[in-house]
Chain A
């Protein structure tokens, strides 16, 4: 399968006839010979391949960092791809200089990825904050420096740029201080021209892979993808919008985790998620990983799925012209077995907007706190009236072949008071609902113990005056 794809890479218009499922990384390195973008893992876990993608959102070009190893080239159609080479001026820019001055690079293999991530932060934000600048590199791993010097480089470049940026004409301000080269000013117009040329359409029954963000598919099957026909969800009419409707929150299945974090609705109704979702992958992964993909991939530790289970979500499934609804908790039939027909796609997901008297908590523990898959995760949504639980949904990940809705423990707690004894009892019930296995994420004994701890953690965090760690030690 081949498709005509055109986009701008750095300062050049590129036209290519390629398989749309080819990873952009391979195209950059092998075809364009832009070797500053490195391959360190091919699974989104090292950040050496980080690039920026600029695209029209509304009237502006917005840039996001992504892992080029997991990015189907079909998805950069009509967009601006920026690699380290596209950030170079004759002189080192302030970000690059800060790395040199702090000694924030040793062998140098990871370095272009860090520079691109940090520059991406300055490009896509108008107000700078040191911690956020550092967090923008949460998808980059450096084995040499130990990161402390990189943190210092981020601090000094943020300080330098905070002095300069006025915010109004952001790109211009960055260009003036050489953070990005002059040609960036022409991109908006040039992308506009590109857009009209061709469009990528392909829907037919021989399609083997439907790629949304690709963050699961490209890790698991990148070689197979190149052998078959693919369909990109981005060209399929499935929305990425998150909206409020009839006391419900509706999430387009193509919404990314970043979309979720940045959504005003989520911030209003589930404020704790903004911080907690930083435990999901890394910034470039969150920029690509979709909600629909998280659900369909059906990993037992899927974080978003755990959250949506506790929020009592419903799926809207679309097959050609028909549509049906399915409670999320009924989707999973066994390990990676779904109640889903061939050709059926998730169009959107909905859940009732949290009530005034509601509480929500998401907990996740992994070997490494950030950018790691959970050993166990758990979510709870509950409504409380006069100290009584009037509605409750508990979920648990990593302790069963499927993302698990804890039916019996939820039922037990319904109508109960929040007290240590009741939580103890609910935990006992939960432990009888699960079937953890021993694997790289932990022994089954550990996972059972961890679930117990995380259920307590929900209540200790939400109701510190009623439940206390001393009672469970």
Chain B
């Protein structure tokens, strides 16, 4: 199944925002950012800059015609800071010039006088100071307070997980130009065209219909362009609106890294209780989410942390509380997994520490507590078509786990310098936006008189292959050659009120809408065919491979002819169709409901070798059995899984976001923030779990974008197990990422070695 998009990628012909040919007279915007993390703006002095040759316009908050507000869930974020700055990298002013470098240099010259206010970067400190973004949330199941007395083992601890830079290879950017009637058209690298449209309308004080947002494709998003692409697009729009010229803004890598939010760091406390049979009786957990300076998507991310706080396990008594803490970092935002990984890392850590205390392998506890059919999640939904245990067992068998473990033991007994570690990681991830109202999508399908087909949906192509999947859905539904089908850019004028391309759900939601739209047209075509062929009943008519069949017999009527004649008969060859996921709801008063259309399951086994002399490591292999549902594009699905796994391993290991005490980002370039490269990548083996049709997914498949990211968590524990082989009695702190620095300090520093038991 070849992917039309990739054929252009390999020739360098795919056009990203910065590649599109622009009209003469194009201007460039540059942003003046706050270089202090918290303070009152006393004065903004643009006098040095105004006179510079090539400068067209300088804009500050007071030049905004509408409301200076870009917040989505909570209205707490200005486009341009007016009285107060709350993080380094916060936009304060915009410079528009006739070339990029002039604009950038001028923006840096603007003098902003800021009176310092105290800086908080740590989530717990923010919590203690009462700085919360939204009220806390608590999920309850059973009765935790009464359960501890039934436990033979109780373990408590603290878990830290670090942030993560999205590092989409294409930096944030947009291009905007004025159109007739004081409107603006924006080409944006965003996952959320409607958000860009809505916020632009608000900022410019225009009706939404005056703003057209178009997204040809984006060079990676991973959540980083869900909410945080908006500001840059709006800045271009504002500048274009004011100057009446086309304006472009493409962030440099360093600007992008400094000014945009990342995956939320979390710090969490847990208490877990088990009985002698390794069953978890109770789990109490408190999450402190480092939200940064504004809400952005943090409340929704916080919620997903709670949804996934027990990962793939059934635990009868659970109490999980989560605080979204306001700090002076750029607002943290969506990133593949959306808070789920942070929640899962804590339960996995708790089980690791419990196993340590009980003197057994963590996998024994994991296995003993896997969720089964009809078991209840802490949010009230019951597990249906549950594949947790099946993938686990299949992974054990397929990857000869007994032998692998023996081999590792032998290797470790023989080697002093190198130690191997292995870990299991099961995953369970709920599919649907947890904000039920967002689970909607639409598609607009046109069949042209030459038989070619155009499909527009709300889905943004960002590498996840959604365009190709939509084409497949159209080609299968209409039974015509795939070359006839073109997916269009994502455009707010063609498809309105879209949900962002996020939550792994774009193919499901937009695919279902596409399928319906194609079916609508198909029904009309069949009726028309019946008329053309002088048949009474439509019901025995079929289109197969571009030919009309009647009662299973081939007729002379071809796709092209049918389309042409249907048009002449004045029948509509277009359809706009709408899809909303059925049967999902969530009651935030009770914190119970049925928020997910379905869950994705899988199990991975991860092996690593640690060089205990130098403190470096290399993952040997990641072996997976994953529930893809009935995949209708295994190449795309496998690619998503592989990419997510490696990104997950990166989050757990070498990807370290560091700030200094003034909240200044230290890792603000690719030379200081390291992501996995060719050499890092391990062998990856993925088995598609068989016979698992998913009634809720498009063509019976399952969503794939996010779930495999969480396999990366196993990488952390594989390394921990290797460290244990070198230093069996040490009580290692749980703090990700486990960089080579932490590995070496764990192995060789003269820390005390308190034994846990």
Contact = CB atoms under 8 A, between A and B. Distances in A.
A85 B169 contact: no
26 contacts: A35-B12, A39-B18, A100-B3, A103-B636, A105-B9, A106-B465, A107-B217, A107-B218, A107-B463, A108-B463, A109-B168, A109-B220, A137-B678, A140-B678, A145-B639, A145-B643, A146-B643, A146-B645, A146-B647, A148-B646, A369-B616, A369-B618, A375-B741, A453-B744, A473-B727, A473-B748
A108 B8 contact: yes
The B interface is mostly helix, strand or loop, or mixed, namely loop
Given A85-B12, A439-B666, A453-B744, A105 B6 contact: yes
Interface stretch (B80-88, B399-407, B524-532, B669-677): B669-677
Interface residues of B, number: 84
A107 B3 CA distance: 12
A48 B169 CA distance: 8
Contacts of B647: 143, 146
Interface string A10-51: 000000000000000000010001011111111101101000
Interface in A355-394: 363, 365-373, 375
Contacts of B681: 146-148, 151
Contact of A109 (B7, B16, B646, B680): B16
Interface stretch (A344-352, A420-428, A443-451): A443-451
Given A40-B169, A148-B646, A369-B616, A108 B656 contact: no
Given A148-B681, A368-B654, A38 B169 contact: yes
Contacts of A454: 614
Contacts of B616: 365, 369
Interface string A82-125: 01110010001001100111110111111110010000000000
Interface of B: 2-3, 5-16, 18-19, 21, 101, 105, 166-171, 217-220, 222, 252-253, 416-417, 462-465, 612-616, 618, 635-636, 638-640, 642-647, 654, 656, 658, 666-667, 669-672, 674-681, 683-684, 726-727, 739-741, 744-745, 747-749
A178 interface: no
A165 B744 CA distance: 46
Nearest to A46: B670
Contacts of A148: 642, 646, 681, 683-684
Contact of A473 (B169, B217, B726): B726
A57 interface: no
B680 A45 contact: no
A125 B727 CA distance: 46
Contacts of A260: none
A151 B680 CA distance: 12
By Cβ-Cβ distance, the 5 closest A-B pairs, closest first, are A36-B12, A107-B463, A108-B9, A146-B646, A106-B463
B678 A457 contact: no
Which of the listed residues A41, A92, A95, A470 has the most CB atoms from chain B within 10 Å of its own CB? Answer: A41
B545 to A, nearest CB: 24
A468 interface: yes
A449 B749 contact: yes
A141 interface: yes
Nearest to B670: A45
B353 to A, nearest CB: 24
A318 B5 CA distance: 55
B2 A100 contact: yes
A75 interface: no
A29 B19 CA distance: 8
The A interface is mostly helix, strand or loop, or mixed, namely loop
B677 A440 contact: no
Contacts of A101: 2
A338 interface: no
Contact of A142 (B169, B645, B726, B745): B169
A365 B217 CA distance: 38
Given A141-B675, A223-B101, A108 B744 contact: no
B12 A84 contact: yes
A287 interface: no
Interface in A129-146: 134-135, 137-138, 140-146
Given A143-B647, A449-B744, A107 B219 contact: yes
B646 to A, nearest CB: 3
A344 B222 CA distance: 49
Contacts of B15: 35
Interface in A408-466: 439-440, 442-443, 445-446, 449-450, 453-454, 456-457, 460
Nearest to A137: B678
A199 interface: no
A470 B9 contact: no
A311 interface: no
